[in-house]
Amino acid sequence: MADNPLSAANATLLASVRQCRLCAADLPLGPRPILQWHPDAHILIAGQAPGRKAHQANRPFADASGERLRTWLGLTAEQFYDPRLVAILPMGFCFPGTGNNGDLPPRPECAPTWQQNLLQQLTRLQLTVVIGQYAQAYHLADLKPTLTETVASWQDYWPHKIPLPHPSPRNNLWLKRNPWFVEILLPKLQTRVQQVLAADN
């Protein structure tokens, strides 16, 4: 993909996000906004918040969840981390800490402050992959009562958006209980991703 640097305005916006300290006092490891963004992106990964390993690596999905997600999408690491192909905008840009049942929810201050400004610049977007309940509540209309029902209703949002469970190993039991996800939905998703890639070439 040919190099296309950010405009001055977009570079300023991205720098402002990365320098954000809005909820610094509430973050156990301190602020480190983690996102991947370029206005040319064709695919958006809308997730929850970076985990501890992503915080430490200063890179989104730098963990087992990322490996599984790339497999689900049928993308190489090189493709996945190309900001002109894939934008990664979680609902909270900083690691929120860990609770009794995994990571805490994304900080509520983040999305109202930054999401709209970043999303409205993604004028070439063809596919939004919406991971987990917090992102689905923000990005999807006609949300179903449970995450499982939302993901099972993926055709309601197709082909421009697709809801997924979190690719965390914590969801292995969910995957075992819902074999249709791997057997039916993932092949459709991978085909759609390849269509987006082909349209960009």
pLDDT tens, residue by residue, 119-136: 999 999 999 999 999 999
- 54 in any annotated domain: yes
Instruction: Give me the mean pLDDT over the 92-116 stretch.
Output: 94
Which tens digits make up the pLDDT trace of 179-200? 999 999 999 999 999 999 998 7
- 13 in any annotated domain: no
- 60 in any annotated domain: yes
Is the pLDDT at 34 greater than 90, yes or no? yes
Range of the domain at 102: 34-200
Which tens digits make up the pLDDT trace of 46-80? 999 999 999 999 999 999 999 999 999 999 999 99
Our count of domains for the chain comes to: 1
The partner residues of 99 in beta bridges, in order of sequence, read 102
CB 61 within 8 Å of CB 88: yes
Exposed, middle or buried, 193 (CB in 10 Å: 0-12/13-18/19+)?
A: buried
DSSP-derived letter for residue 81 is T
- 185 in any annotated domain: yes
Which of 141, 49, 127, 47 is closest to 85 using CA atoms?
127
Give residue 101's pLDDT: 80
DSSP-derived letter for residue 165 is -
- 81 in any annotated domain: yes
The model carries a pTM of: 0.95
Is the pLDDT at 2 greater than 80, yes or no? no
- 3 in any annotated domain: no
- 18 in any annotated domain: no
Q: Residue 126 belongs to a domain with what CATH number?
A: 3.40.470.10
- 6 in any annotated domain: no
